Amino acid sequence: MEIARSIAEFRALRATVPTLGLVPTMGFLHEGHLSLVRRARSECGAAAATIFVNPTQFAANEDFSSYPRALERDLDLLRAEGCAFAFVPSGPEVMYPAGFDTRIEIGGVTGMLEGAVRPGHFDGVATVVAKLLNITQPTRAYFGQKDAQQCVVVRKLVRDLDMPVEIVVCRTVRTEDGLAMSSRNAYLSPPERQAALVVIRALRAAEADFTAGQRDAGALRATMREVLSGEALAAIDYVSAAHPETLAELDEVGAEGALLSLAVRIGKTRLLDNLVLGL
């Protein structure tokens, strides 16, 4: 695997392959990321991953400085998956040089859910993803469904700015007991790790209600809240049953289905997860 530490180095590598599948990451890779690399490789021939903990998507009170980092281990994992290239900016100044003064703000789908709890977060995500796509020029870019709102935002970014890349959203990878893979799971103590299973229990309870015929979105949200409130270690940030594309909260689940999503804090760890309901 070739490792580029600068934009020029990556561009030289990019020129050597006709099609490229990109997996943008902030590192501390897990099976979810690796499944994206495998898919990128199988669909595009060559895969590239980016590893950059993007400061502009973290608020001042968030975990930017403590975000888990394990670069050498990440590079070994990518090599083992046959990833062709890694773009690992040698420092934040590669992405944000002196005088950098541009910010992409996406309307409509960023005011709710994560965007309501983390103001400015999606401006940081949209800006860095636009830069990463411009730098790496992939044929397709792969994102995990676990960050459902991020997927909606990135799709809109690419559509609104006519970026010549296909965005591929891949299913959430879970541990055997149902916890969605996330780099932040590393923060959980053993009792918190056990408590975190309430997240998938809440989502599956609402999904079971839906399967049994419940179409009242308020009732689905109430089911998730009820299950979550049974876990003393879980503090709810939000529960949502929203339109899968506009992310507007639904009164009733219609033909377009719904995105059930939630965010909870377990100790100091914030966990997100979601399930898509289809008709």
Instruction: To the nearest 10°, report the CA torsion of 176, 179, 180, 182.
Output: -110
Contact call for residue 125 and ligand PAF (CB under 6 A) = yes
- What is the H or E stretch that residue 220 is in? helix 217-229
Task: Count the Cβ atoms, other than its own, within 10 Å of residue 122.
Answer: 27
Q: Rounded to the nearest whole angstrom, what is the least distance from the CB of residue 150 to ligand PAF in the complex?
A: 6
Instruction: Using the minimum distance from each CB to ligand PAF, give the nearer residue, 24 or 89.
Output: 24
Which tokens is 29 given? 């890779």
List the catalytic residue out of 30, 33, 121, 243: 33
Instruction: Using the minimum distance from each CB to ligand PAF, give the nearer residue, 159 or 278.
Output: 159
State which amino acid sits at residue 147: D
CA 108 to each of CA 16, 129, 268: distance values in angstroms, whole numbers, following the listed order = 38, 18, 30
Q: Rounded to the nearest whole angstrom, what is the least distance from the CB of residue 97 to ligand PAF in the complex?
A: 18
Contact call for residue 170 and ligand PAF (CB under 6 A) = no
Q: Rounded to the nearest whole angstrom, what is the least distance from the CB of residue 46 to ligand PAF in the complex?
A: 19
Instruction: Using the minimum distance from each CB to ligand PAF, give the nearer residue, 21 or 24.
Output: 24
Which tokens is 37 given? 């690399």
Contact call for residue 26 and ligand PAF (CB under 6 A) = yes
Which tokens is 28 given? 């501390």
Active site residue 33: yes
First to last CA, the chain: 43
Residue from the set 74, 114, 123, 147 that interacts with ligand PAF by CB under 6 A: 147
Binding region for ligand PAF (CB under 6 A) out of 122-130, 134-142, 217-225, 241-249: 122-130
Contact call for residue 181 and ligand PAF (CB under 6 A) = no
- The 3-state DSSP composition of the chain as helix, strand, coil percent (nearest 5) reads 40, 20, 40
Instruction: Using the minimum distance from each CB to ligand PAF, give the nearer residue, 33 or 221.
Output: 33
Whether 143 contacts 154, CB under 8 Å: yes
Contact call for residue 128 and ligand PAF (CB under 6 A) = yes
> In angstroms, rounded to a whole number, what is the distance separating the alpha carbons of residues 205 and 257?
16
Distance of CA 130 to the CA centre of its chain: 15
Residue from the set 22, 84, 109, 129 that interacts with ligand PAF by CB under 6 A: 129
Instruction: Using the minimum distance from each CB to ligand PAF, give the nearer residue, 96 or 210.
Output: 96
Distance of CA 30 to the CA centre of its chain: 13
Contact call for residue 54 and ligand PAF (CB under 6 A) = yes
Binding region for ligand PAF (CB under 6 A) out of 93-101, 123-131, 189-197, 210-218: 123-131
Binding site for ligand PAF (CB under 6 A): 24-26, 54, 57, 125, 128-129, 147, 150
Q: Which residue numbers are catalytic? A: 33
